[in-house]
């Protein structure tokens, strides 16, 4: 299928917001878009009119794509509870509560089938699918039964953009280290790098871009300056378990702001070439 997957060098590098920006940028150019996240561990969710649950990020990505949010956009939702317990949802429907790391033993095969079905629906209802990964694609203790990153990129047969957060430092090591831990086949899927949360004008990072491209052989398709927005966070970075009430008021101004910001700092033609498989 045609599209792209956003993977990150770590959690909270900005994958959700960039996915949202791409959805709006392409939607306003007339492309039917399907946002998708195969498996999401999030305590921040929305209850749809049908009573089904959807992670807040995929709900807002659907809004950005100018379409109705549907449960298949996030076929597997894991909602953390207290005492190491987790609620498991498939297509927005509660399946049960697990304790500790029992998900893969109890639900892996069924979850994989739900993800495959979701990808079929995504492909059938859009020109492009924009997939958001989770965490990092090189959590080596979790890769054997990956339901979030490279396994999903392979299922969908889409290229990958690797997103790195420069705000916290260590951006070169995080990119090169991530690529080094990927298999040769996985690394071949990475067609571009995005530097996110840059402070200052991107022209200040020209030497950094040159170093990354020379040392990885992968183009840097964008350096995105830090931007304020009012979208809901997928989860709290500090891991707090505070009550969450989603703000479902119109985010149109934020969607437009993010799309403008993204388009002004990205190589749009290169991105479309990658998504179409013509790069």
Strand blocks (E) in 37-74: 39-41, 45-47, 53-55
pLDDT, one tens digit per residue, over 164-217 is: 999 988 999 999 999 999 999 999 999 999 999 999 877 889 999 999 999 999
Instruction: Provide the pLDDT confidence category of residue 42 given band limits of 50, 70 and 90.
Output: confident
Pairs from 95-99 (Cβ < 8 Å, separation ≥ 24): none
Q: Please state the φ and ψ torsions of residue 57, each to the nearest 5 degrees.
A: -65, -45
**What pLDDT, on the 0 to 100 scale, is given for residue 233?**
64
| Structure-block tokens of residue 2 | 């045609």
pLDDT at 46 exceeding the cut of 60: yes
pLDDT at 100 exceeding the cut of 50: yes
**What pLDDT, on the 0 to 100 scale, is given for residue 231?**
83
**What pLDDT, on the 0 to 100 scale, is given for residue 213?**
98
Query: Quick one: three-class SS letters along 167-208?
Result: CCCCHHHHHHHHHHHCCHHHHCCEEEEEEEEECCCHHHHHHH
Over residues 133-159, the mean pLDDT reads 94
pLDDT, one tens digit per residue, over 53-99 is: 999 999 999 999 999 999 999 999 999 998 889 999 999 999 999 98
Report which of 202, 57, 192, 79 is spatially closest to residue 131, judged by C-alpha positions: 57
| Structure-block tokens of residue 38 | 């195969």
**What pLDDT, on the 0 to 100 scale, is given for residue 88?**
95
């Amino acid at each position: 299928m045609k599209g792209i997957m956003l993977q990150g060098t770590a959690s909270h590098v900005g994958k959700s917001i960039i996915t949202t920006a791409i959805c709006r940028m392409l939607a306003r150019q007339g492309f039917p878009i399907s946002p998708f996240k195969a498996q999401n561990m999030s305590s921040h969710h929305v209850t749809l009119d049908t009573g089904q649950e959807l992670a807040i990020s995929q709900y807002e990505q659907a809004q950005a794509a100018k379409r109705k949010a549907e449960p298949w956009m996030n076929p597997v939702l894991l909602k953390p509870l207290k005492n190491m317990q987790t609620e498991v949802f498939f297509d927005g429907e509660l399946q049960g509560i697990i304790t500790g790391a029992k998900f893969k033993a109890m639900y892996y095969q069924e979850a994989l089938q739900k993800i495959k079905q979701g990808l079929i629906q995504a492909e059938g209802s859009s020109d492009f699918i924009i997939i958001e990964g989770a965490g990092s694609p090189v959590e080596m203790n979790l890769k054997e039964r990956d339901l979030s990153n490279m396994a999903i990129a392979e299922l969908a047969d889409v290229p990958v953009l690797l997103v790195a957060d420069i705000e916290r430092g260590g951006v070169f090591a995080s990119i090169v280290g991530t690529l080094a831990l990927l298999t040769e086949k996985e690394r071949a899927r990475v067609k571009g790098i995005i530097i996110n949360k840059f402070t200052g004008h991107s022209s200040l990072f020209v030497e950094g871009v040159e170093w990354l491209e020379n040392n990885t052989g992968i183009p840097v398709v964008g350096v995105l300056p830090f931007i304020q927005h009012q979208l809901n966070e997928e989860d709290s970075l500090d891991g707090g378990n505070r009550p969450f009430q989603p703000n479902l008021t119109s985010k149109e101004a934020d969607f437009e702001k993010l799309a403008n910001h993204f388009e002004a700092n990205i190589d749009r033609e290169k991105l479309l070439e990658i998504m179409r498989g013509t790069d």
